[in-house]
Chains A and B, each alone.
Chain A
Amino acid sequence: MDDATQILPPWGRGTSEAGGVGSAAFSQRGEPPQSASPTAPPGREHLRPFDIAAVRAQFPILSREVNGRPLVYLDSAASSQKVQPCIDAMVHSMTHSYSNVHRGLHTLANETTESYEAARESVTRFINAPSSRQVVFTKGATEAINLVASSLGLTLQAGDEIVVSELEHHANIIPWHFLRERKGVVLRFIPVRDDGSIDLDAGLSMIGPKTRMVALNHMSNVTGAVLDPVPVIAAAKAVGALTLLDGCQAVVHLPVDVQALGCDFYVFSGHKLFGPTGIGALYGREEALAPLAPYQGGGEMIGSVAMDAISYADPPHRFEAGTPPILEAVGWGAALDWLMRQDREAIAAHEHALYTRAVTRLSGCNWLRILGDAPGKGAILSFEVKGAHAHDVAQLLDRYGVAVRAGTHCAEPLMRRFGVTSSARASFALYNTLEEADAFADALIKARSFFA
């Protein structure tokens, strides 16, 4: 909690800070990190220097064409492409070392269990959780939030309050709405500022004696705004409320240390982290996970079963009923191991350079409205083209080989906040290039000409 750098993106840090000098300098010049000195800055010598060509080579799908043009994939905030080590690990598991986990006594069962639990260790290291016992595999972030809401909901009463914000993804709204419908819980929405960030000045005062849970997005999937969770977590703690951070976007772009954050729950998904679909994680503080009732019942999650009584396994297995997504866990673990060998500060600087390049190239376009310009925001560019529907824009960009998302981005309250029915979104990832940022901007200008 005292380490504020944990929650600030590298480009938002002061240039005087050790280790942050390089990335800050890059972003000021708006140049790619690879153009700088080839040696990693002090403290990061063990990491691979950021090399965009080498990174792209690890994502085989990026070499394909769409509509006769090279694919420019700018939809990573919806789902990222898959890194080769992930693909290899899943294929290897399926072709050499696969069985069900935890229950067998034969060689393949043991090998598979080891791979599956090794993946849990990778997730644990990735977010610096104190122990892998605090990392529950789920089918995604959505299931992770539903798990917490459902189990916590059993203990809530009418009038209890849950605080979320106006910019939440539906996955962090609907499970709480269930509790409003079923238990009479009161939802309170922290407003969003014009720059697309959560208004903590207003928000902190919403956290009070009736608050049971504060569940907020760590980085908006629409505006890219990054939350400073420290004051929120402190305020929640002060009134005895739990905290949950939706880290789906943040965990891809920022170093996340759940111990430094001090939140009770942190959720994120595998498919946005260069891993497969169907896998995600719920981190829970030991004291927060321990009292939670099971979410689903089935194999693997029990202590013992009799006709008239059951006892449950300890976390994490208490929350992993049935055969888990084994291959997906193995693939995700490999993807995270790969990511942890990369220089993530350099990646963050690169992503920022991509965003800046696109915005700069579009800066003279008075028909363009960008949703969200909070300081230190992530490389997510949501926008509205005056006189055109977001679907028109996305369809035309697709003809130019550029993949963007269009719609409400599962954030209807936020769309209403900005007074739009939908928007288009270009989201940049580590494997995008400055040429692709240019190609996007040029294609957008051409697409706009259809409606001028």
Chain B
Amino acid sequence: MTCPIDIELDHLADEFELLGDWEERYRHIIDLGRGLAPMSDAERNDENRVRGCASQVWLVTERSADRLRFRGDSDAHIVRGLVAIVLRLLSDRAPADITTFDAKAGFARLGLEGALSTQRSNGLASMIERIRRDAAA
């Protein structure tokens, strides 16, 4: 059975394939971020803040019997869009699927490999690390 994360990655890859130049890709990323439900001010707290981000990123983890759900937010548009992509891929999944998913390869497939470089300091790498840690816990 195909992993649901890979199925979602296929959907995302199809979306990004339709886009032309980098401007269209960035506009799409920003649109994806706009579709994300904003967190309340109360949830935008220090505990939920992902460390190591130049712009602010917040992540809330909710556990059910066999799945992990994540909600995330950022105060920057582009990063919020990238958070939306991460959540589409990794939220509401089985922990085992999350821990085996190769995020770097996934983002490379979307043409967003730069987004995960540590120098980007947009916190996406830290966010994925936290998601994997929660999934492994």
* Stretch in A27-35, A71-79, A150-158, A390-398 touching the partner: A390-398
A8 at the interface (CB under 8 A from B): no
Give per-residue flags for B92-129: 1 if the beta carbon is below 8 A from chain A beta carbons, else 0.
00000000000000000000000000000010000000
Interface centre among B27, B56, B78, B79 (most CB of A within 10 A): B78
**How many A residues, CB 8 Å from partner?**
14
Bound-state CA distance A352–B75 (Å) is 33
Bound-state CA distance A396–B79 (Å) is 12
Give per-residue flags for A395-408: 1 if the beta carbon is below 8 A from chain B beta carbons, else 0.
11001000000110
In the complex, are the beta carbons of B75 and A421 less than 8 A apart?
Answer: yes
In the complex, are the beta carbons of A392 and B54 less than 8 A apart?
Answer: no
**How many B residues, CB 8 Å from partner?**
14
Nearest CB in chain B: distance from A19 CB, A: 44
Interface centre among B22, B26, B76, B79 (most CB of A within 10 A): B76
Partner of A392, one of B22, B23, B77: B77
In the complex, are the beta carbons of B75 and A407 less than 8 A apart?
Answer: no
In the complex, are the beta carbons of A450 and B77 less than 8 A apart?
Answer: yes
Nearest CB in chain A: distance from B23 CB, A: 8
In the complex, are the beta carbons of B30 and A389 less than 8 A apart?
Answer: no
Nearest CB in chain A: distance from B77 CB, A: 5
In the complex, are the beta carbons of B77 and A388 less than 8 A apart?
Answer: yes
In the complex, are the beta carbons of A396 and B75 less than 8 A apart?
Answer: no
What chain A residues lie within 8 Å of B79 (beta carbons)? 389, 391-392
Chain B at the A interface: SS class: helix
Interface centre among A389, A396, A422 (most CB of B within 10 A): A389
Q: Given A389-B77, A391-B79, A399-B22, check contact A450 B27 (CB 8 Å).
A: yes
Bound-state CA distance A391–B53 (Å) is 11
A367 at the interface (CB under 8 A from B): no
In the complex, are the beta carbons of B26 and A451 less than 8 A apart?
Answer: no
Bound-state CA distance A337–B55 (Å) is 40
Nearest CB in chain A: distance from B21 CB, A: 10
In the complex, are the beta carbons of A451 and B75 less than 8 A apart?
Answer: no
Bound-state CA distance A67–B55 (Å) is 22
Partner of A389, one of B22, B23, B26, B76: B76
What chain A residues lie within 8 Å of B23 (beta carbons)? 399, 450
In the complex, are the beta carbons of B78 and A391 less than 8 A apart?
Answer: yes
Which B residues, 1 to 38, have Cβ-Cβ distances below 8 Å to chain A? 22-23, 26-27, 30
Bound-state CA distance A107–B7 (Å) is 71
Bound-state CA distance A399–B27 (Å) is 13
Q: List 13 A-B contacts (CB under 8 A).
A: A67-B22, A388-B77, A391-B55, A391-B76, A391-B79, A392-B78, A396-B26, A399-B22, A399-B23, A422-B55, A450-B23, A450-B26, A450-B77
Q: Given A391-B76, A391-B78, A392-B79, list of 17 further CB < 8 A pairs?
A: A67-B22, A388-B76, A388-B77, A389-B77, A389-B79, A391-B54, A391-B122, A392-B30, A392-B77, A395-B78, A396-B78, A399-B22, A399-B26, A421-B75, A450-B30, A450-B77, A451-B77
